[in-house]
């Protein structure tokens, strides 16, 4: 039987820079990423693709807020924006996968599954917004932004500017897990848990209810990889490897890390909260839960990383 990889594609890695934020630009980035994912499939590894939505969910929410301010249109709740991103990004990945399969004469099929992820209603994260979404604001813009939006929570994001943050509760249960497994066993390459999943809780009668938050897709993907017993959990992002002294003249790439080495580097604050730290926590959670191999790398390095020739690999 084929090996299985859960590959988490970063929302930021699908948006190259501030000048290339059109939907067509994102589709080109999706197509490029998908080419590398299909290379993996040709190596005999079936995939479940998860994806982020940090920039995209922020753009949709901001559009809704501006439409409300200007045209008094109805606001779109954040949870609906999450669902919108699952559809829109999932559509692009699914289409790009199918086109790539057809181009290479493979008989494979891709499908996207709308996925809800249960969170605890009393997760302390609801009171401490931490998930960066939407636009990056520069030092020159930030004073105006704060005075125009005093209710926004803002953070500095990994040396790339300032960003708005929203609550990000921990994922506890993937509601559609059984459907994902069924689709894998039927031979589909599945796109699921987009944007970390649509956050839901249970009401007093046990009914599912959406909540306004953005789940970290690295944590949700780690949970999925563990529950599926995946052979590889791979985080595909904008950097080829994880670095110590990131963005400093002393920067050094890390190739293989044990859990103990990761813990020591965390204590040394080597991983930025809101960007690399959740990825590091997500891969260590997967290994601690019995996973064999976790990898952090860029789309272009995916195949080499699985062969141990690129990326940063985390092992027990
Ligand atoms: N120690 C580190 N090594 C590598 N990248 C780091 C490190 N610390 C912070 N980063 C930043 O984290 C980014 C990945 O996080 P993010 O952009 O949130 O990912 P995503 O692709 O999931 O949207 C990298 O592109 C890099 O800018
Ligand atoms: N939801 C989420 O974690 O998105 P990013 O990976 O884009 O930050």
Q: What is the DSSP string of 259-277?
A: HHHHHHHHHTT-S-TTTHH
155 shares a domain with 65: no
Mean pLDDT for the stretch of residues 240-265: 96
Across 173-197, b (16+ Cβ under 10 Å) vs e yields ebebbeebeebbeeebbbbbbbbbb
Distance (Å, rounded) from C-alpha 34 to C-alpha 13?
12
What are the pLDDT digits (tens) for 138-147?
Answer: 999 999 999 9
Query: 241 C-alpha vs ligand 1 centroid, how far in Å?
Result: 9
In this structure, are residues 194 and 174 in contact, taking their beta carbons and an 8 Å threshold?
no
> By the 8 A CB rule, do 224 and 177 touch?
yes
Quick one: 93 and 137 in the same domain?
no
Nearest CA owner, ligand 1 atom 5:
242
Name residues contacting ligand 2 (CB within 6 A): 10-12, 52-54, 195-196, 214, 216-217
- Angstrom distances, CA of residue 29 to CA of 60, 100, 164, 223, 245: 19, 14, 24, 26, 28
Confidence of residue 273 (pLDDT cuts 50, 70, 90): confident
Averaged confidence pLDDT in the chain: 95
Identify the burial level of 265 via C-beta atoms within 10 angstroms of its C-beta, where 0-12 means exposed, 13-18 middle and 19 or more buried.
Answer: middle
Same domain for 258 and 188: yes
Q: pLDDT by residue (tens digit) across 174-221?
A: 999 999 999 999 999 999 999 999 999 999 999 999 999 999 999 999
b or e along 58-84 (b: 16 or more beta carbons within 10 Å of the residue's beta carbon)?
Answer: bbbbeebeeeeeeeeeeebebbbbbbb
Do 261 and 133 share a structural domain? Answer: no
Average pLDDT for residues 279-304, to the nearest whole number? Answer: 97
* Number of domains, the chain: 2
Residue 294 has pLDDT above 60, yes or no: yes
- Between the CA of residue 165 and those of 24, 178, 185, 235, 272, what are the distances in Å? 26, 32, 38, 22, 15
Same domain, 15 and 136: no
Nearest-CA residue for atom 4 of ligand 2: 52
Nearest ligand 1 atom to the CA of 274 is 18
pLDDT of residue 1: 54
Pocket lining: 242 vs ligand 1, CB cutoff 6 Å = yes
Same-domain pairing of 173 and 258: yes
For residue 245, give the ligand 1 atom closest to its CA.
1
- The answer to whether residues 190 and 234 belong to one domain is yes
Residue 257 predicted with pLDDT over 60: yes
At 207 the pLDDT is 98
- One domain for residues 39 and 141: no
- The answer to whether the CB of 54 is under 6 A from ligand 1 is yes
Give the domain extent around 160: 129-165
Mutate to test the pocket of ligand 1, among 12, 54, 168, 282 (most ligand atoms within 8 A of CB): 12
Q: The CATH number of the domain where 63 resides is what?
A: 3.40.1160.10
Residues with catalytic roles: 11-12, 131, 217, 279
């Amino acid at each position: 039987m084929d090996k299985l990889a859960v590959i988490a594609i970063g929302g930021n890695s699908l948006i190259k820079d501030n000048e290339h934020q059109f939907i067509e630009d994102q589709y080109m980035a999706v197509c490029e990423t998908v080419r590398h994912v299909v290379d993996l499939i040709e190596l005999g590894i079936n995939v479940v693709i998860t994806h982020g939505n940090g920039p995209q969910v922020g753009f949709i929410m901001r559009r809704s807020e501006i439409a409300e301010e200007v045209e008094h249109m109805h606001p779109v709740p954040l949870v609906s924006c999450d669902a919108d991103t699952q559809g829109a990004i999932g559509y692009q990945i699914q289409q790009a996968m199918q086109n790539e399969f057809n181009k290479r004469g493979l008989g494979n099929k891709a499908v996207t599954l709308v996925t809800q992820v249960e969170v605890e209603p009393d997760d302390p994260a609801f009171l401490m917004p931490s998930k960066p979404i939407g636009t990056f604001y520069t030092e020159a813009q930030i004073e105006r932004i704060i005075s125009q939006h005093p209710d926004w929570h803002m953070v500095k994001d990994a040396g790339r500017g300032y960003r708005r943050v929203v609550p990000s509760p921990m994922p506890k249960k993937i509601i559609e897990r059984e459907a994902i497994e069924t689709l894998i066993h039927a031979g589909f390459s599945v796109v699921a848990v987009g944007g970390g999943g649509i956050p839901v809780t249970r009401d007093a009668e046990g009914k599912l209810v959406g909540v306004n938050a953005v789940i970290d897709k690295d944590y949700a993907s780690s949970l999925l990889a563990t529950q599926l017993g995946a052979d590889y959990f791979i985080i595909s992002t904008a950097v080829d490897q994880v670095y110590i002294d990131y963005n400093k003249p002393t920067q050094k790439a890390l190739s293989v890390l044990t859990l103990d080495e990761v813990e020591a580097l965390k204590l040394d604050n080597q991983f930025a909260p809101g960007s690399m730290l959740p990825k590091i926590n997500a891969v260590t959670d997967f290994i601690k839960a019995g996973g064999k191999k976790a990898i952090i790398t860029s789309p272009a390095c995916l195949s080499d990383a699985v062969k141990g020739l690129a990326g940063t690999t985390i092992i027990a």
